Amino acid sequence: MKVLSETKNTNLFKVPVIEDIIRFKWSYFRWAIIILLFIPFLAYFGAFLTFATWAIKEDYEYEQKVDGSKKGWETATEWLVISCIVFIVGFAYVELR
């Protein structure tokens, strides 16, 4: 497979046996990619969007208040930041191994 992946001859991929090997291997790796990379990416994307919209808006509105009362959004913001960092470290690990 390594030799096949490094070949410049693209006509090899039109050979039925090679197509079947690729389909067979892709059927396993497709689910591994979806489960190990895509679903965590969706969770990271959701956490980042929530942080970038809701938490920043709450922080801006807090700065505009005169009474200085803070609500529980600070803890949620901290957890969102921590979860984003954990996802980034996890994605870096997957990329570097």
Give me the residue label for tokens 């991929």. 13
Domain boundaries, given as residue ranges, for the chain: 2-96
Does pTM top 0.85 for this prediction? no
Give me the pLDDT at residue 29, please: 84
pLDDT tens sequence across 3-39: 777 778 778 788 888 888 888 888 888 888 888 888 9
Give me the pLDDT at residue 26, please: 84
- Cα torsion 45, 46, 50, 53: sign: positive
CA angle 54, 56, 60 (to 5 degrees): 115
